[in-house]
Amino acid sequence: MKLFRYGELGKSDLIIDAVYEGGGSVGELGDPISKILPGCGNMGGFRASGKGIYKKFVVLYTSGEHKDWPDNIDINSGRFTYYGDNQKPGHELHDTNKKGNLLLKNAFEWLHSNPLNLEKVPPFFVFVKFPTELSARSVQFKGLAVPGFPGMTATEDLVAVWKTTNNLRFQNYRSTFTILDEAVISRKWLEDISKGSTITQNTPKTWRLWKEKGVYVPLFSEPTTAIRSLEEQMPLNLLQAKILNAVYNHFKDTPLAFEFFAAKIFQMLDSRVIIDEVTRGAVDGGRDAIGRYLLGLPDDPIYVEFSLEAKCYRPNLRGVKLNSVGVKEVSRLISRLRHRQFGILVTTSAVGRQAYSEIREDRHPVIIICGRDIAEILINRGFNTQRIVKQMLENEFPL
């Protein structure tokens, strides 16, 4: 991984997934983003350069740790989901103090105007928090972004969502951006846009194409390996660990009840999932649930059948050794799949390397939903604290 020291930042290019180290002093002097892109400020998720509604550029910064507003980058498709800055009750969606939401409102209005007003849309630079040994302020560059995503409509890419905190209701934006297929953003172009010119001889090709014709070229990244390590299948942070722990502790003594929860998790992942039956005990034929996946048009649908197996195994929490799903359990599911069916394996733990390898190398149509996936699905659906998860489990899955 490429790492730029703090002293290099004023002359560096922006490289996808490179890390830019923060300084050791306080305030703006220690912030790497304001060093790379002078004039954008040194605080907050939205950092814009330029006066009035027309900006030279905008930085979108995320820590990735906010439980209520889970910003997310799909590195496979280039799709970036980013939430606005009206994140607490007491303000209207377009409150003038919430300049980030106004930035989103303007950018997406220009995107969907007729005729297009793309010349007014500034470039968006995406950074995520990435602490290093020398500085907690260090960041990682994730790409050059533009509002919208291929195939999404004006009613889908910028949505005002309701939230409730302490019985107070309020709205915030959920926006969708496209990370463009640009591996390197040159220092020369950064200098050009700081002077107010985005179309120059240094302009990235995909930015020019989108700016002039509205054509998206997403940064599509195919994984070099389809096998996730045990670490990659376990919680990414403390919040995910607490949520997964709540699930495991609720079902650990009644694994049969976990089958109903596993079916629900798969439904929460995709609205096109239809659970026909959660089977029980000796009559399940090796399948804990069966169902159909909806494909096609609403008035002419087709269905693909699936079998689901659920394993409530001990996750690797608080130093306790992981109890992973092995070859025997995976083989059991695969052997039950009939022609034109696919399988789902849901576990609070992880799938061992040998079993995972056999699934992928032999191209078995099996979806793996592991401990980290369960936590992320719950968080994305609003079950974003241990207390809320416990309450949901007690209400919907009483033991």
- pLDDT given at position 169: 84
The predicted-structure confidence for 163-173, as pLDDT tens digits, reads as follows 877 788 888 99
Q: Which band of pLDDT confidence, cut at 50, 70 and 90, is reported for residue 315?
A: confident
- For residues 271 and 1, what is the distance between their CA atoms, to the nearest angstrom? 37
CATH 2.30.280.20 in the chain: give the residue spans.
3-213
Q: Which one, of 199, 197, 146, lies nearest residue 176 by Cα?
A: 146
69 vs 87: CA distance, rounded Å: 8
CATH 2.60.40.1840 is held by the domain 3-213: no
CA angle 387, 390, 393 (to 5 degrees): 150
- Residues 270-297, mean pLDDT to the nearest whole number: 81
Structure confidence at residue 369 (pLDDT): 97
Asked whether residue 254 carries a pLDDT value surpassing 50, the answer given is: yes
**126 vs 384: which has the higher pLDDT:** 126
DSSP state of 148: S
- Write the DSSP assignment of 30-41 as a string of letters: G-HHHHHSTTS-
CATH 3.40.1350.10 domain locations along the chain: 230-396
Residue 165 phi, psi (nearest 5): -135, 120
CB-CB contact of 180 with 207 (8 Å): yes
Cis ω for the linkage preceding 398 (within 30 of 0): no
Q: For residue 224, what pLDDT is reported? A: 64
Q: Which CATH number fits domain 230-396: 3.30.70.1450, 3.40.1350.10, 3.10.20.600, 3.30.420.40?
A: 3.40.1350.10
Average pLDDT estimate for 186-201:
94
One-letter identity of residue 55:
K
Separation CA 185–CA 143 (nearest Å): 9
For 259-266, what is the mean pLDDT? Answer: 96
Mean pLDDT score of the chain: 89
What is the rounded average pLDDT of the residues 257-262? 94
What's the CA gap between 340 and 267, in Å, rounded?
Answer: 20
Query: Is 70 exceeded by the pLDDT of residue 60?
Result: yes
Q: What is the pLDDT of residues 117-175, one digit of tens each?
A: 899 999 999 999 998 888 888 999 999 999 999 999 999 999 998 887 778 888 899 99
Q: What is the mean pLDDT of residues 18-36?
A: 80
Q: For 272-282, what is the mean pLDDT?
A: 81
Q: What number is the average pLDDT over the span 270-277? A: 93
Would the pLDDT of 372 be above 90? yes
